Chains A and B, each alone.
Chain A
Amino acid sequence: MPVKILIPGSLKCWFDGETEYSCQGERILDCIDRLEKRFPGVKEHLIDPKGNISNVLIFLNGDNLRSLDGLSTKVKDGDEISIIPLAAGG
C-alpha cells in the first residue's frame, strides 16, 4: 500500500490539477522526489535552495514535519502526507 499525498485546491496548479497522488518512498524527501518526477518543477515550490521546506507546511498523518524529523521523516505504507500553503497555518 503506497503513501497518499493530499493537496488542497490552492496548490493544485503545481500538481497538474490533481488533489491526490500516491507514491512509494522510505522518507518524505523520497516522496517529494517522486512528486518532482511526476510534476516537474514542484520541488522548488516546496523546498528552498538550502533544502528547507518553504512556502508550505507538510504534515505526516496530521503532524507537522517541523515537530518530526523534517524531510528525513520516515514513512510507511498507508501513511498520508498533507501539504498546505504556509499562510494557511496562521
Chain B
Amino acid sequence: MIQDNPESKFIFIFHPKIMLGKKYTIRNGQEMTNGEVLQFWGKWIVLGKKLWLDELSIKLDPFVESKEIPVIKYDRVPSVNLGIEECVMMVYCDRRDRDNIWQILSRFGVKLKAWVTEKETMEMWLPGGQLLERWIESKNFDAATQNAVREDSQARLGYIFDHPDEVFVPWEQ
C-alpha cells in the first residue's frame, strides 16, 4: 500500500501488515538484529522527477504487497538544501535479495545502478559524517543546537553500532 501523508517528508510503500506492527526487517521469519542490519540491509537509490517516481511507485506497489520488496520510501519534494534537484526513492532490501529487486527496477526503466548499505548511510549521519555536518551547516543552527543534534545522532545511531545483538528497531519518519 502507498501511504501518502502530506505532513510527512516521505511517501512510503509498505505491506499493510506494517500497520499492524509487523517489521519489514525480517529474514526467513526472524527479525533482524542491529548487527545483521549493518551487515546486510541497504537500498537501491532511484533519482527522478516526482511525477515519474509517483508512476513508478504504482508499478512497484504489487511487489511490496507480495513481499518481494520489503519497503520503499521517496521524497515528496527534492532536498534542495542538500544540493539535490530530483526526488530520491529508496528501495530497501537485504543485500542477499538485491539482484532480484534490481531486475524488477530495471524492468521499469531504472538505469542508474546505486546500492547504498544502511551502514554507509548511518556513518554519514553520525557526528563528523558528511551528511550530518552538511545538514547542520545548511540549517544555520547556533552552537548549542549543533551540539544537541550531534548528541542525538550519536545516541540513536551509535546505539545500533554498540548493540549488534539486539533486535533492530526502525525509527519513526
Q: Is A1 an interface residue (CB 8 A)?
A: no
Q: Is B107 an interface residue (CB 8 A)?
A: no
Q: Is B164 an interface residue (CB 8 A)?
A: no
Known: A9-B85, A88-B84. A64 touches B120 (CB 8 A): yes
Residues of A within 8 A of B149 (CB): none
Q: Is A57 an interface residue (CB 8 A)?
A: yes
Tell me whether A84 and B45 are in contact (CB under 8 A): yes
Tell me whether A85 and B83 are in contact (CB under 8 A): yes
Q: Is B88 an interface residue (CB 8 A)?
A: yes
CA distance A37 to B120 in the complex (A): 31
CA distance A60 to B55 in the complex (A): 27
Expressed in whole angstroms, the minimum distance between the Cβ of B72 and any Cβ of chain A is 15
Tell me whether B131 and A90 are in contact (CB under 8 A): yes
CA distance A88 to B102 in the complex (A): 18
Tell me whether B112 and A6 are in contact (CB under 8 A): yes
For B111-122 the 0/1 string (1 means CB < 8 A from A) is 111111100110
Expressed in whole angstroms, the minimum distance between the Cβ of A8 and any Cβ of chain B is 4
Q: Which residue of chain A lies nearest to B99 when distances are taken between CB atoms in the complex?
A: A62
Expressed in whole angstroms, the minimum distance between the Cβ of B139 and any Cβ of chain A is 14
Expressed in whole angstroms, the minimum distance between the Cβ of A78 and any Cβ of chain B is 13
CA distance A89 to B44 in the complex (A): 9
Q: Which residue of chain B lies nearest to A86 when distances are taken between CB atoms in the complex?
A: B130
Known: A9-B48, A63-B115, A82-B114. A88 touches B88 (CB 8 A): yes
Expressed in whole angstroms, the minimum distance between the Cβ of B161 and any Cβ of chain A is 16
Tell me whether B114 and A90 are in contact (CB under 8 A): no
Tell me whether B113 and A80 are in contact (CB under 8 A): yes
User: Hey, which bits of chain A sit against chain B, CB under 8 A?
Assistant: 6, 8-10, 55, 57, 59, 61-64, 66-67, 80, 82, 84-90
